[in-house]
Amino acid sequence: MARSLALLLLGVTAAAGAGQVFTAVATHQANTYFVEVDALVEVPEQRVRELLTDYDNLGRVNAAIEESEILLTRGPGNYRVRTVTMACVFLFCKRIHQVQDVIESADGSITATVIPAQSDFRHGYARVNLWQEPGGTRVLIRSEVEPDFWIPPIIGPWLIKRKLRSEALETVANLERAGKPAIQ
């Protein structure tokens, strides 16, 4: 839901609802894509955690996720999760299947490791760290994936980096939107 940093580094400070995105970086090297996001959302840490660990409803935090479900529960905080995501970059669209082992650690971090045999990735890893700050919840996401599908060589990596970065920014904005109570 984690790359040797080369080529283009995209760093921004932008608004995410009323929160802030301090960093949103996507890079590419040797067929692997790396994403790092550091943001502050004006939602309590417990609510952000609830949204990110509601594995049967991950589409609430990223509309590109068409399906998400827990395949296996090994114990509290130890799951195998399947997602199906529709990713479109200009005219190139692909339905991406991913199965990950997800661990919610005692230190509060959430890590996800791709199961390549059941996914459209050769490898992948993501780590999310959350902590409460006076203005809301700090969200740090680091991920890497190596797709196991064809990407157009020259412009493809640039487009994929843009898409990964925009998806990360959308997720941060949706965490804030979904995390705030509805006004009656």
Domain-located, residue 5: no
Domain-located, residue 113: yes
CA dihedral 55, 56, 61, 67 (to 10 degrees): 120
Domain-located, residue 4: no
CATH number of the domain where residue 170 is located = 3.30.530.20
Domain-located, residue 8: no
Domain-located, residue 33: yes
Question: Any idea which of 85-89, 133-137, 155-159 has the lowest mean pLDDT?
Answer: 155-159
pLDDT of residue 52: 93
Query: Does residue 163 sit in helix, strand or coil?
Result: helix
Is the confidence at residue 10, as pLDDT, over 50? no
Residues near 95 by Cβ (< 8 Å), separated by ≥ 6? 66, 84, 85, 86, 87
Query: What residue numbers bound the domain in which 19 lies?
Result: 14-179
pLDDT of residue 9: 23
The 10s digit of each residue's pLDDT in 99-113 is: 999 999 989 999 999
Is the confidence at residue 7, as pLDDT, over 80? no
Is the confidence at residue 167, as pLDDT, over 80? no
Select, from the ranges 6-20, 42-56, 158-172, the one with the highest average predicted confidence (pLDDT): 42-56
Cα first-last separation, the chain: 31
> H or E stretch including 170?
helix 156-179
Domain-located, residue 47: yes
Q: How many domains does the chain have?
A: 1
